[in-house]
Structure 1
Amino acid sequence: MITFPISLLVNWQCTSQVSDLSSSEREWLFEPHSLTVKLKSRAQVFSVKVLSEKIFDLTLEQKALLGCEASTALNREVLLLCDNIPMVYAQSWLPDNQLSNQPKNPLHNMGDRPLGDVIFQNPELVRKEIEVARFDTEHPIQQLALQLNLPIQKLLGRRSVFSLKDYNFLVCEVFLPGAYLYS
């Protein structure tokens, strides 16, 4: 049984610290534009499966990473599927903006729409540095691979903090076994 949110505690590294990646791995991990668009271009049918969507307390590390004062955030966990094959596990942390008098955050009501389809349409979107991580065969993300009947293998992931005006949010993406990244 998987407990959400799936822990993504791992040694995240800045791009300058990562040197031993194949050209395919680099192409996917350092894609500066929408991963959703890139995946859609490779598939007949693209879909999103929501695994979990709940409010959680932010850790001190997450608050520092996001540079925010919010104490809670919506954690959204999804699978990005190409032709019904899970390619990417994505986790986003969307801080609660109850501290301000702003209207309800539209990113908190995505349903099964991909976050990438919404955020990359906004010309004010700024992506901070992409960080990369390796997930060994003992990492908790492997429980998801098992549940999806995918082979257990070392996985690669990336994360970025995005900004829309003064609103920062975190997106982490782990490429599952069989993802295009590994071809």
Structure 2
Amino acid sequence: MPTISPPRREPRWSTQLPSHIHPSPGLLTWLLDAGSLTAKLMKLSKGKFRVQVLQQVHRRASKSEALALGIDFGVLCLIREVILRGEDQPWVFARSVLPLTSLTGPIRHLRKQRNRPLGAFLFSQPHLKRSPIALSFISRHHAYVPEELLNDAPVWGRRSIFWLHDKPLLVSEVFLPHFPEVAKNI
């Protein structure tokens, strides 16, 4: 089973595409889609979709994650890392960072999400707010994604902050090499 260590070098996330490199138009559509990625993956996989939990631990967020969430660097968070699998292939690596201070009241049950997709819950919430989507071109030296899920080619990821009941949580999603070519080139 893949294991995760804190990133050695954090990916650079930006709401602007870098000028020197771009994802394919089809993949860009997936990266910028503000709807539920879970719902789209379920449809693409014709129902052969599942969540594989890699880890769920209490730990500090990375510096860029803490900055994005507007929390102090030392604040403990629930960090959940999963693989979203379609047709039993690893399609997307997802990392959720939920400050423990956000996991109270009506969303405290997110502590026990297990292998349920977080996106299915988030997008069912009527008062959900989302920040603009930030993108990153991620390579092996970032140590952000388990090495065994990557090949030598860099991959694209996206992240954004969600607010539920005015409490922030950060979700990052990285499209892995097994993400279907047909979907990348729609």
TM-score tier by shorter-chain length is 0.7 to 0.9
Which of 72, 77, 82 aligns to 2:76? It is: 72
Is this contact kept in 2: 1:89–1:175, CA < 8 A? yes
Is this contact kept in 2: 1:15–1:130, CA < 8 A? no
In structure 2, do the counterparts of structure 1 residues 46 and 109 end up closer, same or farther at CA, with 3 Å as the change threshold? same
Give ranges in structure 2 of 5+ residues lacking alignment: none
Give 2:155's aligned residue.
155
Which of 48, 63, 66 aligns to 2:66? It is: 63
Give 1:83's aligned residue.
87
What are the superposed Cα offsets for residues 61-93 of structure 1, whole Å, 9 maximum, x if unpaired?
A: 433311246811100000000010000000000
Which of 90, 93, 99 aligns to 1:95? It is: 99
Secondary structure of 1:156's counterpart equals strand
In structure 2, do the counterparts of structure 1 residues 83 and 167 end up closer, same or farther at CA, with 3 Å as the change threshold? same
Secondary structure of 1:14's counterpart equals coil
What are the superposed Cα offsets for residues 1-46 of structure 1, whole Å, 9 maximum, x if unpaired?
A: 9653552711111136567332112111001100000000011310
Distance 1:182 1:168 in 2: 30
Secondary structure of 1:138's counterpart equals helix
Is this contact kept in 2: 1:5–1:77, CA < 8 A? no
Is this contact kept in 2: 1:46–1:84, CA < 8 A? yes
Give 1:50's aligned residue.
53
What percent of counterpart residues are identical?
31
Is this contact kept in 2: 1:5–1:52, CA < 8 A? no
Structure scoring higher RCO (CA < 8 A, sep ≥ 6) equals 2
TM-score normalised by the chain length of structure 1:
0.85
Is this contact kept in 1: 2:3–2:54, CA < 8 A? no
Is this contact kept in 1: 2:14–2:134, CA < 8 A? yes
Q: What letter matches 1:113 in structure 2?
A: R
Which of 120, 125, 130 aligns to 2:128? It is: 125
1:20 aligns with 2:31: no
Distance 2:37 2:106 in 1: 28
Superposition RMSD in Å: 2.6
**Alignment length (residue pairs):** 179
Give ranges in structure 1 of 5+ residues lacking alignment: none
Tell me which stretches of 4 or more aligned residues in structure 1 moved more than 6 Å.
none
TM-score normalised by the chain length of structure 2:
0.84
